[in-house]
Every structure is written in structure tokens, then in C-alpha cells.
Amino acid sequence: MKTAVISDIHGNLAALEAFFTVIELIGVDRTVCLGDVVGYNPWPNECIELLKGHGIPSIMGNHDRVAAGLQEPVYFNDLAREAVLKTKDMLTEANRDYLTLLPEKMNVDKKFLLVHGSIIDPDEYILTPAAAARNINAMRDTTDVEICFFGHSHVVSYFSSAGNSDLSRVPTELFLMKDCLYLINPGSIGQPRDGDSRASFLIFNEEENRVEFHRFEYDIESVVRELKRQEMDLFLGERLYLGK
């Protein structure tokens, strides 16, 4: 079984459509999403419809929660707050209901766990070995899986209970050791923040116990044009060129 894991689409239809083209060429058995389907970029309804049309399960991200009206954007910065409130106004009733019903975690076939921020807190950023260690301990104490895929940071990364992570040099493929716990982030489809403007995702090959990290280019200029047409902050497009 080969599973594509995506995260943080953030309403970026151009990137999401390019992703489907890429995986059609690669070939996967299924795709799962780690949340934040909406926010920042100008196509929230279209991205939700694509996920629904392809039958892709997703969990809830913090932007999804706010856009659905389940929480106020109290801890959002000004740019994120303005964008998510715009997104909230753009959503159809059916797509708002879709976001409302998303689960916060998902255990897939008792093989791996999906979370948005972390196992401990859906809004936590796992960016340091200390944060990873807390969550690896939580995974050991509260779950029956050895792999957890997480998003939220928009940074391709991995941590393990063996302590062999290296955020500065994530490999293109990672062979998972038995009896070792892993936290793995595929990066972001719609708004990468690790200095690489290309969208990112991963493929988990269960038979080989191997993770492949993938990057692909897409039409960023089309996102900028739509942001301008929707009268949204153009910095949301400019940052896409920088990968931050």
C-alpha cells in the first residue's frame, strides 16, 4: 500500500491540481490530508470540492476550525486573521459543514496516526527536538502505532525515538527502523515555509517501510493573479515565491 500524505493546502488550487497530476504519474493507492485545507489562498471551496471528489479523508487544521466558525482567530497574526475571515465569508454552507465535521485526529488502519499540530495539542508546532520528544512519549503512552504524520509548521521534517533527526538535511527517502517511533511532516502543498517555493508531500510505502519526500513546481503566478482579483493581500502571493 502506497499512501500519499499531504498537508496545509490553504486554498491553493493551483498547487493542489498540480499535485494530482504528479501522483497520477507516480501512482499511489490513496491520499490522506493533515488539515488546513483552507486559509490564506483564494480557492477554499474549490479545494474542498477536489478533496471530496477524490474521496480524500482529512483531519481538521486550525484554519479549518476558524473558517468553520468553531473558534475565533484570537491567536492568528493580522495577515492570517484577515485571510481566514475572508475565507469564512467565501465558503458555501455545504463546505462549511464539511469543515465542521472533520476529526482532529485519525488512526489509519492501526498503521499510522494523522494529527495537524501535534499529538498533544492540535495547535502546537513541532519544530524542535524537545517538542518532538514530548510527543514521542505521548505516542508511546497513548497510541498503538509507531508512525505519526503531522503538519501545521509547513516545514518538511522528521523526528525519531532514536534521535537521528536532522532538520537541515531531510533526505529524499527515509527507511523506517522497526521498534522505532517516528514523527514525520510532509511540508505544505499550498504555502511552504522552509525556503523552498516548491510544493511538497510524501509517500509512505507500507510494504517497504519507506517514506519518500517529493517536491514539485506549480503556477504561482496564477495564485497571485487570483489574490489580486479577490482583493486579498498580495504578500500572500509574494511569500510563495520565497517559500516562507
The CA-based dihedral angle spanning residues 22, 16, 9, 129, taken in that order and rounded to the nearest 10 degrees: 10
Cα(204)–Cα(35) distance, integer angstroms: 18
Distance CA 94, CA 51 (A): 14
Q: What is the pLDDT of residues 90-121, one digit of tens each?
A: 999 999 999 999 999 999 999 999 999 999 99
What CATH number belongs to 2-242? 3.60.21.10
d(CA 150, CA 5): 9
Residue 170, pLDDT score: 80
Q: What is the pTM of this model?
A: 0.96
Instruction: Average the pLDDT over 71-75 and give the result.
Output: 93
240 has a pLDDT exceeding 90: yes
Question: Is the pLDDT score of 164 beyond 90?
Answer: no
Which segments of 2-77 does DSSP mark as H helices, in order? 13-26, 44-53, 62-67
Which residues, other chains included, contact 77 with Cβ-Cβ below 8 Å and sequence gap of 6+? none
Question: Cell numbers of 4, please?
Answer: 500519499
Taking CA atoms, 101 is separated from 25, 34, 65, 181, 232, in Å, by: 32, 14, 10, 29, 27
